[in-house]
Amino acid sequence: ALAAVVLFACNVVFTIYGRPAASVSTRPVALADRRIADIITIPGALEVLIAAGFTPLRNPVMRTTLAGTVSLRQACGLKGLALEPLVEQIATLEQA
């Protein structure tokens, strides 16, 4: 019974004061691991992706629903496309 009371007290304390926040990495996310929704904000990236075979991105509804859930790495894996050439093309657009 004493162990239950101690565990309950710990739970109350953690609930009130919260747990320490996980350290947030300031390292930028690699382009391949960024979501498509983030990538298509780069001027010209949408056209590059459509030309590479991601034709559903032409449809605004599909862009809204799918682009926020899939990374570029995942999308290339699903389509069977080489990731590196696409990353290089988009990286040059991002630097411009």
The C-alpha atoms of residue 87 and residue 45 are separated, in whole angstroms, by 10
Q: Residue 63 pLDDT more than 80?
A: yes
Q: Which two tokens stand for residue 40?
A: 């298509």
| Confidence (pTM) | 0.69
Given a contact cutoff of 8 angstroms between Cβ atoms, the answer to whether 50 and 86 are in contact is: no
Give the pLDDT of residue 54: 93
17 phi/psi in degrees, rounded to 5: -95, -15
Q: Which two tokens stand for residue 36?
A: 């498509």
Q: Residue 24 pLDDT more than 50?
A: no
Given a contact cutoff of 8 angstroms between Cβ atoms, the answer to whether 89 and 48 are in contact is: yes
Q: Residue 23 pLDDT more than 70?
A: no
Q: How high is the mean pLDDT of the chain?
A: 85
